[in-house]
Structures are given as C-alpha cells and as structure tokens.
C-alpha cells in the first residue's frame, strides 16, 4: 500500500517510500539538535528518530543546567505518515527545509515544556559517508548533513524559564540516516576489543561556520578527515589535514582543552583553540548506547511510553557510568582572532596510540 510520502517525487528506488532500500533491521532515520548559552551553563539537545524495520518512533529532550541533567523521553508505534514527525508530547516541524526547524514538547505532567526554533546561520552541508565495521561486520553505514544555527523560543523546566526570545543561543543540528545498531541488539559474535577515537565539531562564528569530523583507529590511522569552513554564500573551504592535540584531565579521558592545527589553501597555517564548557553525555538520558536507564533508540517500549530521568553530573556513580562514553560538550572556540560557539563531541575509547592510551583502562597521567 502507498503512504502519504509517495505523493512527492522523491523516490530513490522502485518501491513505496514506506520501505528502505535495505532489509537490514538496523535501518534508521533521525536528527539531533543542540542549543547552548554562551557561558556554557545552559545546554539542550532534542532528537527524534524513526526505525522502520522494527516499527518504532522515539524522541527526547535533554536539558543541562550547570551540572544537573534533566531528560524526558518518549516512544511509540511508527505509523505510515513519515511527514508527521510526532510521538507522545514531542514533535518536529520543518518550517522551511534546510533553514528553519521547530521542536515542541507539550508536557504538563513531567515538568519539561519547549517551543524552540533552529534558524540556520549558514548553509547546511554534507558530512562524509560514515562506514564503521566491527571485525568484518558493518555496524554503521550512514549519511548526514549538518548546520549551525541561532536558537530562539521558550524552554521551561520545573517552572524555571531557561531561554527567552531575547536570548541568543547558539545551535547546531544534524540529520542522519542509514543503518546503525537499533533497539535490542543482535546476538554477539566473535568478541572484539572496543576502540574508537572520534571528534564531531560544528562551530558557529559571526562570519563563518566550521565543521570537523575526525575518526582514527587504535594506531592513529585516520578513516575520516573532514575539516571545512562554510561561508555565508555556501562556499566550502577545505582546511587541510587537521592536527588535533587534546588535553585530558589527569586520571580520566575527559577533555579540558583541544588545539587543532589547520592549513588554508596556499599554505597559511591556523590553530583552532577549543574550550569545553560543560558536558552532555549522549548515553545519559539521550538514549545513545545499549542501555540508558532501560531505554535506547529504537527499542520497543509499547504503544505510548514516556519517562523523565534526572542525573547529577557530579555524582560518582554517574561519572563512572559515562567515563568512556561519547560526550557532547558545549564549547567556546577561537580561530584567527574570532570567537565562536558550538559542540565539541568527543570519544576516546580503548587504545589510541597518538593520545598515549595503551588499552581500554588507560587514562591520562
């Protein structure tokens, strides 16, 4: 049977838009959108995803106030109308494609309400196709676009207004689709030592945006190297082979500073300095990871499920739980005399020779 999306001339294969081009159960299509105050004390992430081959749609809103993280998650059954991005109290409206997106959460029970709009500051750009294997098994094959933005609207947590129309919050968003682990995982095969060194860094400056996607193996071999500057007219300037130097807090793998060496066409060298201002662990309330207080993306939780969770980021148990996880840090950056803001997403899991990490448990000295 056709679905409403079939009315539009967007087909990429000889079948209804209800079905993806692969039968892989891990098919997904989702977005994440960030906003942060310039002092780093306020940070919000929202997301919505559909998982066609397991019949699930889910969404979340996570708010960090200083060192406290509050998250509301919802999940339900995926219907046929993919133009309607809505589940529980949360919905996403594409007001103007690739320019203006609105997220709302109408909630009078769990204490988090939101009406936020991401207005593109610079044109959206493609990221490199991301293919990741575990042994010989492809566990991720995804494509994304990313955009920096200004975020306005209202955000209320337990009666406290955190963002008003007069406040300029910096934003970034990406949409990705393809395959990646979804819901209850498949049975484990041959064990592999976990290892991943990763940086995803969208930054908004007054005159340009920067975007970095860097991934390396345990020996430092780089599998993705994207380092670009995006200009207002859409021109994309490549900034060469990025040379990152990350400083970690002793006894941890928590980054306290990053310097990235860059080079313009013609040979002029630049250095980007990044200061993390506050953490948002993706596996704590946002559903990234195998189990996040009983939930993760694409897991069937029933026809109508919602849950509020709160975490103290200074709690020792919380710190142990996210010690090696992916963290999206609100960040301040400087480049060539200009100051910008955005997200410094980083993970250093397992061995990574350039960082001096010898194995899974090794930490900075």
What residue ranges do the domains of the chain occupy? 4-9+23-177+194-355
Angle ∠(290,141,184) on CA atoms, nearest 5: 25
pLDDT at 202 over 90: yes
Beta-bridge partner residues of 312: 68
Distances (CA, A) of 344 to 34, 211, 281, 297: 11, 10, 12, 22
Specify the CATH number of the domain 4-9+23-177+194-355: 2.40.370.10
Dihedral pair phi/psi, residue 326, rounded to 5°: -70, 130
Q: Which of 18-22, 171-175, 257-261, 285-289 is least confident?
A: 18-22
Q: Is the pLDDT of residue 11 over 80?
A: yes
pLDDT in tens, 52-101: 999 999 999 999 999 999 999 999 999 999 999 999 999 999 999 999 99
293 near 287, Cβ under 8 Å?
no
Residue 277 to residue 290: CA distance in whole angstroms = 27
Alpha carbons 278 and 176: distance in angstroms, whole number: 25
| Mean pLDDT of the 152-162 span | 94
pLDDT digit string, tens, across residues 289-313? 888 999 999 999 999 999 999 999 9
Quote the percentage of the chain above a pLDDT of 90. 86
Q: Which structure tokens are listed for 271?
A: 């250095």
| Nearest to 229, CA basis, from 278, 263, 179 | 263
Percent of the chain whose pLDDT exceeds 70: 99
Beta strand 255-263 with 269-281: parallel, antiparallel or unpaired?
A: antiparallel
Q: What is the pLDDT of residues 107-147, one digit of tens each?
A: 889 999 999 999 999 999 999 999 998 888 888 999 999 99
């Amino acid at each position: 049977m056709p679905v409403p999306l079939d009315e539009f001339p967007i087909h990429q294969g000889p079948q209804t838009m209800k079905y993806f081009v692969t039968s892989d159960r891990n098919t997904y299509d989702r977005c994440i959108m960030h906003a942060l105050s310039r002092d780093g004390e306020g940070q919000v992430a929202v997301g919505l995803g559909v998982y066609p081959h397991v019949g699930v749609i889910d969404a979340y809103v996570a708010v960090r106030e200083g060192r406290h993280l509050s998250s509301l998650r919802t999940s339900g059954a995926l219907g046929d109308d993919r133009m309607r991005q809505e589940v529980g109290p949360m919905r996403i409206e594409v007001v103007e494609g690739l320019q203006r997106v609105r997220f709302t959460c109408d909630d009078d029970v769990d204490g988090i309400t939101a009406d936020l709009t991401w207005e593109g500051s610079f044109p959206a750009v493609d990221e490199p196709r991301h293919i990741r294997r575990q042994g010989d098994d492809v566990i991720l094959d995804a494509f994304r676009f990313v955009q920096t933005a200004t975020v306005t609207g209202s955000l209320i947590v337990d009666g406290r207004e955190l963002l008003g129309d007069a406040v300029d919050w910096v934003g970034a968003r990406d949409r990705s689709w393809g395959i990646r682990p979804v819901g209850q995982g498949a049975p484990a095969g041959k064990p592999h030592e976990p290892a991943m060194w990763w940086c995803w860094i969208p930054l908004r400056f007054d005159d340009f945006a920067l975007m970095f996607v860097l991934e390396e193996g345990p020996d430092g071999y780089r599998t993705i190297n994207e380092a670009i500057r995006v200009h207002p007219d859409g021109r994309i300037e490549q900034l060469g082979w990025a040379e990152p130097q990350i400083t970690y807090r002793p006894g941890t793998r928590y980054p306290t500073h990053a310097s990235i060496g860059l080079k313009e066409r013609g040979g002029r060298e630049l250095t980007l300095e990044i200061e993390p201002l506050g953490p948002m662990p993706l596996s704590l309330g946002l559903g990234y990871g195998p189990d996040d207080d009983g939930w993760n993306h694409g897991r069937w939780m029933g026809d109508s499920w919602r849950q509020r969770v709160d975490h103290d980021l200074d709690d020792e148990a919380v710190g142990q739980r996210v010690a090696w996880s992916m963290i999206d840090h609100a960040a301040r950056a400087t480049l060539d005399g200009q100051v910008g803001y955005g997200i410094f997403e980083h993970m250093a899991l397992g061995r990574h020779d350039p960082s001096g990490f010898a194995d899974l448990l090794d930490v900075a000295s």
